[in-house]
A and B are shown apart, each in its own frame.
Chain A
Amino acid sequence: MDILEYSAVELSAAIREGKVTATDAVEAVLARIDAREKDINAYVTVDREQALRAAASVQEKIEKGELTGPLAGVPVAVKDNMCTEGMLTTCSSKILENFVPTFTSEAVVNLERAGAVIIGKTNMDEFAMGSTTETSAYGVTRNPWNTAHVPGGSSGGSAAAVAAGECFFALGSDTGGSIRQPASFCGVVGLKPTYGTVSRYGLIAYGSSLDQIGPLTKNVTDCAAVLELIASHDTKDSTSVRREDTDFTSALVDDVRGMKIGIPRDYLGDGLDAEVKEAVLAAAKVLEEKGAVVEEFDLSLVEYAIPAYYTIAAAEASSNLERFDGVKYGYRTSSYEGLHNMYKKTRSEGFGAEVKRRIMLGSFVLSSGYYDAYYLKALKVKAMIKKAFDDAFARYDLILGPVAPTTAPRLGESLSDPLKMYLGDIYTISVNLAGLPGISVPCGKDTKGLPIGLQMIADSFQEKKLIQAAYTYEKTKRGCGKWQSNMRQ
């Protein structure tokens, strides 16, 4: 069996059984990277020496029985907005072109402790602002299923790397859909946990109140295993939640009998691609056949989610990104006259267009005289959206719908019309506004051969329901297949 065909959990088991070594796995991944990166560009940084050193050390510990976890020895790719000590961390921005952190983000520390091997840092939309991974300062990432299409974003590099076999699993971050949407476009599993489940310490913030780190994996089993590892209470993050129920792999049960699933009618209306709609409803039907009770309902307020999200996220981003000023680290303009001019030139040259657009938008909604009308109102909308979900979860275990209105658009199609791109987030962002967990699982392909994702949303702290339903669905083998096999044709 080709080593790359293993899932993350299978690979680790094979290493523990002595069938392959951690070094074999890293070498296989590096060979795949050499073969595919010129087309895909999933990585900003690949650290070969470090990965091989880590693999050798992990292998030794596995052999000594010091590392026994389900992901020991498995190569992982990390989105480039998570700090990694000694390894370039750019957020795919020119302004951090030379930034090497002095500490490692908590989620990555958890992975390293469990023996996962960091291959490198994946490409993303600059500062996680975008839905296509086209706003990166280090080139676009292409969709492995069809390189004329985008991989989605902002965790597009992570999703593409998993889909292309350039790693066994990846970490992404999700502020408005940035894990789920690229997972959907690339035919992999992506999960955004309940806000506070994974520490944000070391995650370079975009919208602090919305950001969550989560896994992008080949299947639901890997997803549960990774989530189990990275979920931790962290005293360094004030918004981190102490949870006792993080044994997510215990929810890998092939059974949805009696589970109540609601499909918001609001998610099936205008703008939704017919093929996507068909695939999502077919998936619902499969779950119904497996014993779930599925019905449509009105969630309401869906149309307010986008303006509320872009107000809150941009407001927080405008402040979070102030620290990138050329004084302490990162890019500084080459010539300037005085402090003010240095700030202005550094930030004008260092940030890309989409980032500047959101900084301006965020600064505007927080400015004196507009704060109440925009920012405060958006917070009220956020609270109302949370209430709408609370009402829905009083009746349903899960909410089911599409991840995105369409499959992956062609490269260059989205950036010319940012508003249209923002509207593409309609099914994912309310989940972030309400702090809920959401998962994207592959549920077929369109006639162009591009993957379609099924989104399921649960109430806060109910990731296990998501995992159970997604696992049950996956068992029916109605996904989109593997990209690697696809390419061999």
Chain B
Amino acid sequence: MAKQYETVIGLEVHVELATKTKIFCGCSTAFGGAPNTHTCPVCTGMPGSLPVLNKQVVNYAAAVGLATNCTITQYCKFDRKNYFYPDNPQNYQISQLYLPICRDGHVDIETAAGKKSVGIHEIHMEEDAGKLIHDEWEDCSLVDYNRSGVPLIEIVSEPDMRSAEEVIAYLEKLRMIIQYLGASDCKLNEGSMRADVNLSVREVGASEYGTRTEMKNLNSFRAITHAIEGERERQIDLLESGQQVVQETRRWDDAKEYSYAMRSKEDAQDYRYFPDPDLVPVYISDEWLQQIRDSQPEFREEKMERYRKEFDIPEYDIGIITDSKHLADLFEETVAICGQPKKVSNWLMGETLRLLKEKSMDPEDIVFSPEHLAKLIRLVDSKAINSTVAKKVFEAMFAGNVDPEQYVEEKGLKTVNDEGALRTTIAEVIASNPQSVEDYRNGKEKAIGFLVGQTMKAMKGKADPASVNRILKELL
């Protein structure tokens, strides 16, 4: 019988903060500008330039710290991490080593294995680097400093996770908290959330940790799961064959689903950290900290609890809606306008989720406004449009946030409520479908369905099906 192994995992998660400007200069943090257009002397490391801290970065970092039960370091400092690489214009990164802004926190996660708490060792603030682009044609490397100086926080967990499932649950939890704070959109595929996995294995029951490796370049939950499984197996194979795990940094190749060693501990650089003399220490006063505390939003658990009390919607709906801050905001704002939580929820749970899935979008990408959703619900309630038309209108709203009232007006989609016109049409349908009329009169109840369909067709869908039914029965 083979030995039983336990996987021990700790995470280093980088999150790009959603500030409008960079951490140490006034340049835009917007993603995707032409190369080197969001730059200035500071974020390109020009001689003589000096950094000035963006206060909002401290607000966000402390808010994330508070939400993850950390102790906030009220007197914190920035340190320089020295290493040479062209994406790093000063050849040092301004980060925090000695006095990071948050320490000793935890978040609670839940998996099939049950509930557990994952410790957070520290959260620190730092600047992002630029991007190197290799030009194969010219055989040269170019560097784009647009991303240089974009603010990051690095959330370092304790080695408390034991499976890929727990890692995903932890990341989902962090993402939820940070999205609720509005501190980042946390998109792994766009790099606004990046996770490095530190993993080791040990025999079940062992008290010492095994030698760990660090895995980088994990751009999706799927990649993280596969990398963890692969690395666990690789390390166990090494141990089973009498070899040793080497402490090293490995890079995950998503296409090949394989990781390879980037550098071992022996090549580990000495970063020569020391306090950055160009920046003054950050002192977060009690008042400032209280302000941050006071502006913390309602997080998911509290929100779910409130929904249970305030809204008569199923637990399942509550779970889905509160899974995204944006969706929850949309829900609450719409209900505030038109009431009817169940109907609002139905639109979000049904059509909205269907279209998101169909177009592979995130709830954060939803463009329609609560005002327009409320208008749509009113249009249906007042029988101005029927449900089939409503779905069409909704698709237009989903695509471009059109005003449903205007759209219905312009496209002439309003239900015809002119009883006279409806009666005339129905009379014509009865006259031209004698066989169905005969069947119905002979007791074939189903035949009326066909006649309703014919009427709706003749009315181009703009009739209220209930009225059609009533008049048909009356005339028959």
- Whether the pair B45, A363 counts as a contact (CB closer than 8 A) is no
Tell whether A489 is near chain B: CB-to-CB under 8 Å. Answer: no
**In terms of DSSP, what is the predominant structure of the interface of chain A?**
loop
- How far is A375 from B82 in the complex, measured between Cα atoms in Å? 15
- How far is A73 from B210 in the complex, measured between Cα atoms in Å? 73
Tell whether B245 is near chain A: CB-to-CB under 8 Å. Answer: no
Indicate whether A83 sits within 8 Å of B48 (C-beta atoms), given known contacts A102-B41, A322-B91, A327-B143.
yes
- How far is A318 from B46 in the complex, measured between Cα atoms in Å? 16
Q: What 0/1 pattern do residues 327 to 350 of A give for CB contact below 8 A with B?
A: 111000000000100010000000
Tell whether B182 is near chain A: CB-to-CB under 8 Å. Answer: no
Query: Among the listed B47, B50, B270, which residue makes an inter-chain contact with A323, where contact means beta carbons less than 8 Å apart?
Result: B47
Residues from chain A with Cβ under 8 Å of B47 in the complex: 83, 89, 91, 96, 99, 101, 204, 323-324, 329
Taking the nearest CB of chain B, how far is it from the CB of A147, in angstroms? 31
Q: For residues 246 through 292 of chain B, which have their beta carbon under 8 Å from a beta carbon of chain A?
A: 270, 272-274, 277-280
State how many residues of chain A have any CB contact under 8 Å with chain B.
Answer: 43
Tell whether B52 is near chain A: CB-to-CB under 8 Å. Answer: yes
- Whether the pair B45, A238 counts as a contact (CB closer than 8 A) is no
Stretch of A1-9, A36-44, A256-264, A365-373 on the interface side = A365-373
Residues from chain B with Cβ under 8 Å of A249 in the complex: none
Interface residues on B, range: 20 to 34
Q: What 0/1 pattern do residues 19 to 54 of B give for CB contact below 8 A with A?
A: 000000000000000000000010011111111110
- How far is A236 from B273 in the complex, measured between Cα atoms in Å? 24
Query: Among the listed A91, A102, A207, A328, which residue makes an inter-chain contact with B89, where contact means beta carbons less than 8 Å apart?
Result: A328
Q: What 0/1 pattern do residues 87 to 126 of A give for CB contact below 8 A with B?
A: 0010100001001011101000000000000000000000
- How far is A241 from B48 in the complex, measured between Cα atoms in Å? 18
- Whether the pair B274, A319 counts as a contact (CB closer than 8 A) is yes
Indicate whether A327 sits within 8 Å of B86 (C-beta atoms), given known contacts A103-B41, A201-B48.
yes
Indicate whether A238 sits within 8 Å of B50 (C-beta atoms), given known contacts A322-B82, A323-B91, A328-B45.
yes
Residues from chain A with Cβ under 8 Å of B278 in the complex: 205, 208, 238-239
- Whether the pair B277, A208 counts as a contact (CB closer than 8 A) is yes
- Whether the pair A201, B143 counts as a contact (CB closer than 8 A) is no
Residues from chain A with Cβ under 8 Å of B273 in the complex: 366, 371
Residues from chain B with Cβ under 8 Å of A204 in the complex: 47-48
Residues from chain A with Cβ under 8 Å of B84 in the complex: 322, 325, 343
Taking the nearest CB of chain A, how far is it from the CB of B281, in angstroms? 10
Tell whether A202 is near chain B: CB-to-CB under 8 Å. Answer: yes
- How far is A222 from B27 in the complex, measured between Cα atoms in Å? 39
Residues from chain B with Cβ under 8 Å of A200 in the complex: 50
- How far is A328 from B141 in the complex, measured between Cα atoms in Å? 12
Tell whether B80 is near chain A: CB-to-CB under 8 Å. Answer: yes
Residues from chain B with Cβ under 8 Å of A91 in the complex: 47
Tell whether B92 is near chain A: CB-to-CB under 8 Å. Answer: yes
- How far is A472 from B273 in the complex, measured between Cα atoms in Å? 47
Tell whether A457 is near chain B: CB-to-CB under 8 Å. Answer: no
- Whether the pair B272, A323 counts as a contact (CB closer than 8 A) is no
Tell whether A237 is near chain B: CB-to-CB under 8 Å. Answer: yes
Taking the nearest CB of chain B, how far is it from the CB of A326, in angstroms? 10
Q: What 0/1 pattern do residues 230 to 249 of A give for CB contact below 8 A with B?
A: 00000111110000000000
Tell whether B69 is near chain A: CB-to-CB under 8 Å. Answer: no
Tell whether A203 is near chain B: CB-to-CB under 8 Å. Answer: yes
Give the interface centre of B49, B50, B52 by most chain A CB atoms within 10 Å: B50
By beta carbon, the residue of chain B nearest A344 is B84
Residues from chain A with Cβ under 8 Å of B454 in the complex: none
Tell whether A436 is near chain B: CB-to-CB under 8 Å. Answer: no
Residues from chain A with Cβ under 8 Å of B82 in the complex: 318-319, 322, 366
Indicate whether A323 sits within 8 Å of B89 (C-beta atoms), given known contacts A238-B50, A316-B277.
yes
By beta carbon, the residue of chain B nearest A366 is B272
- Whether the pair A322, B92 counts as a contact (CB closer than 8 A) is yes
Tell whether B469 is near chain A: CB-to-CB under 8 Å. Answer: no
Tell whether A252 is near chain B: CB-to-CB under 8 Å. Answer: no
Q: For residues 185 through 233 of chain A, which have their beta carbon under 8 Å from a beta carbon of chain B?
A: 200-205, 207-209
- How far is A324 from B91 in the complex, measured between Cα atoms in Å? 9
- How far is A52 from B356 in the complex, measured between Cα atoms in Å? 67
Residues from chain A with Cβ under 8 Å of B280 in the complex: 238-239
Q: What 0/1 pattern do residues 50 to 85 of B give for CB contact below 8 A with A?
A: 111100000000000000000000000000101010
- How far is A440 from B51 in the complex, measured between Cα atoms in Å? 32
Tell whether B211 is near chain A: CB-to-CB under 8 Å. Answer: no
Taking the nearest CB of chain B, how far is it from the CB of A386, in angstroms? 15
Residues from chain B with Cβ under 8 Å of A13 in the complex: none
Give the interface centre of B44, B82, B89, B91 by most chain A CB atoms within 10 Å: B91
Query: Among the listed B46, B50, B86, which residue makes an inter-chain contact with A237, where contact means beta carbons less than 8 Å apart?
Result: B50
Query: Among the listed A96, A328, A366, which residue makes an inter-chain contact with B274, where contact means beta carbons less than 8 Å apart?
Result: A366
Indicate whether A82 sits within 8 Å of B52 (C-beta atoms), given known contacts A315-B274, A339-B86.
no
Q: What 0/1 pattern do residues 279 to 317 of A give for CB contact below 8 A with B?
A: 000000000000000000000000000000000000110
Tell whether B220 is near chain A: CB-to-CB under 8 Å. Answer: no
- Whether the pair A209, B274 counts as a contact (CB closer than 8 A) is no
- Whether the pair A368, B270 counts as a contact (CB closer than 8 A) is yes
- Whether the pair B143, A209 counts as a contact (CB closer than 8 A) is no
- How far is A83 from B92 in the complex, measured between Cα atoms in Å? 21
Indicate whether A367 sits within 8 Å of B270 (C-beta atoms), given known contacts A208-B277, A209-B277, A325-B91.
yes
Tell whether B90 is near chain A: CB-to-CB under 8 Å. Answer: yes
Residues from chain B with Cβ under 8 Å of A82 in the complex: 48
Taking the nearest CB of chain A, how far is it from the CB of B13, in angstroms? 25
Taking the nearest CB of chain B, how far is it from the CB of A117, in angstroms? 21
- Whether the pair A323, B90 counts as a contact (CB closer than 8 A) is yes
- How far is A267 from B44 in the complex, measured between Cα atoms in Å? 44
By beta carbon, the residue of chain B nearest A376 is B274
Q: What 0/1 pattern do residues 78 to 112 of B give for CB contact below 8 A with A?
A: 00101010100111100000000000000000000
Residues from chain A with Cβ under 8 Å of B44 in the complex: 328
- How far is A83 from B42 in the complex, measured between Cα atoms in Å? 14
Query: Among the listed B46, B89, B92, B279, which residue makes an inter-chain contact with A101, where contact means beta carbons less than 8 Å apart?
Result: B46
- Whether the pair A323, B41 counts as a contact (CB closer than 8 A) is no
- Whether the pair A236, B52 counts as a contact (CB closer than 8 A) is yes
- Whether the pair B50, A319 counts as a contact (CB closer than 8 A) is no
Residues from chain A with Cβ under 8 Å of B52 in the complex: 235-238
Residues from chain A with Cβ under 8 Å of B279 in the complex: 238
By beta carbon, the residue of chain A nearest B280 is A238
By beta carbon, the residue of chain A nearest B272 is A366
By beta carbon, the residue of chain B nearest A209 is B277
Residues from chain B with Cβ under 8 Å of A89 in the complex: 47
- Whether the pair B272, A319 counts as a contact (CB closer than 8 A) is yes
- How far is A204 from B278 in the complex, measured between Cα atoms in Å? 12
- How far is A192 from B82 in the complex, measured between Cα atoms in Å? 30
Residues from chain B with Cβ under 8 Å of A371 in the complex: 272-274
Give the interface centre of A83, A99, A238, A375 by most chain B CB atoms within 10 Å: A238
Ranked 8 nearest A-B pairs via Cβ: A322-B91, A208-B277, A366-B272, A209-B277, A202-B48, A83-B48, A204-B47, A323-B90
In addition to A236-B50, A324-B47, 12 A-B residue pairs with Cβ atoms within 8 Å of each other are: A103-B46, A235-B52, A238-B278, A322-B92, A323-B89, A325-B84, A328-B89, A339-B86, A366-B274, A367-B272, A371-B273, A371-B274
| Interface CB pairs A-B, < 8 A, 28 | A83-B46, A89-B47, A101-B46, A101-B47, A103-B48, A105-B48, A201-B50, A204-B48, A205-B48, A236-B52, A237-B50, A238-B53, A238-B280, A239-B278, A316-B274, A316-B277, A318-B82, A319-B274, A323-B91, A324-B47, A325-B91, A328-B45, A339-B86, A343-B84, A363-B272, A366-B82, A366-B274, A368-B270
